Amino acid sequence: MSVLDGILEGVREDLAERQRQVPLAELKARVADLPPALDPLPGFRTDEVSIIAEVKRRSPSKGDLANIPDPAGLAAQYADGGAAAISVLTEQRRFGGSLADLAAVRERVPVPVLRKDFIVEEYQLWETRAFGGDLALLMVVSLDDALLTDLVGLCAELGLTPLVESHTGEELERAIGTGAQVLGINARDLTTLQVDPAVFGKLAPQIPTDRIRVAESGVSGPEDVTQYREWGADVVLVGEALVRSGDPTDSIRRFRLA
């Protein structure tokens, strides 16, 4: 069993429990009362590199990263630094996140909020919208073509912006085929957790110029943002480097100036 397989097993178990506790009809009722989701594309289509700043307590590869008792407060610091969007890890077992984190961040910041999780069912997209998400991460590696297409379609119905993530050329080809406007290339191989930033440099030129190119993983400092920008990134998602920085507001400013 790969690392990803183990994560997905736990995700499905936790999802089944949430489905027992909160019927889909209840989520749909919540969504019906919400204002429209925020559109991240204007913030991503700028002359400067944009930053998606991540609320991330721990990871399978690094273990505990930071004690974050107030995710909304951290997100506010990110927004003050000029983050174009905030990413919130909601997977509990390996990353220590929750949907409550997502809701708290949405209430605090004026910028779009991304739910970062292992989404494998439509129910999770209804959750994302019900708890205030504006974007949803869809990982090609964990979805077949039919489900990926259905999830991208449901995002459109809900007003969510899908961030469709790839790691290989074959995955990227499938991601492009969905028509999604925001395409991520993760430098981390989720089956092994190994990181190779050059993966972005290799694959980014294959992304049509009218799409948003997001570089994910492998950022430890401004020089890494600079390299991703030179390889064609419009947006860089940063997590670990920010939660460990001690001054996330200043760090984002330095990343943007890179």
Measured CA to CA in angstroms, residue 84 lies from 46, 52, 54, 237 at distances of 10, 6, 11, 10
| Mean per-residue pLDDT over the chain, rounded | 94
pLDDT of residue 253: 92
pLDDT tens digit sequence for 109-155: 999 999 999 999 999 999 999 999 999 999 999 999 999 999 999 99
With a cut of 90, say whether residue 58 has pLDDT above it: no
Which residues are within 8 A (CB) of 3 and not within 5 positions of it... i.e. 6 or more apart? 60, 190, 191, 192, 193
Tokens 């950022």 — which residue?
Answer: 219
- Please state, in angstroms and rounded to a whole number, the distance separating the CA atoms of residues 217 and 238: 7
3-state secondary structure of 113: strand
User: In percent, how much of the chain has pLDDT > 90?
Assistant: 84
Q: For 198-216, how does the pLDDT look when each residue is reduced to its tens digit (9 = 90+)?
A: 999 999 999 999 999 999 9
- Residue 255: name the closest of 209, 216, 214, 223 by CA: 223
**For residue 242, what pLDDT band results from cuts at 50, 70 and 90?**
confident
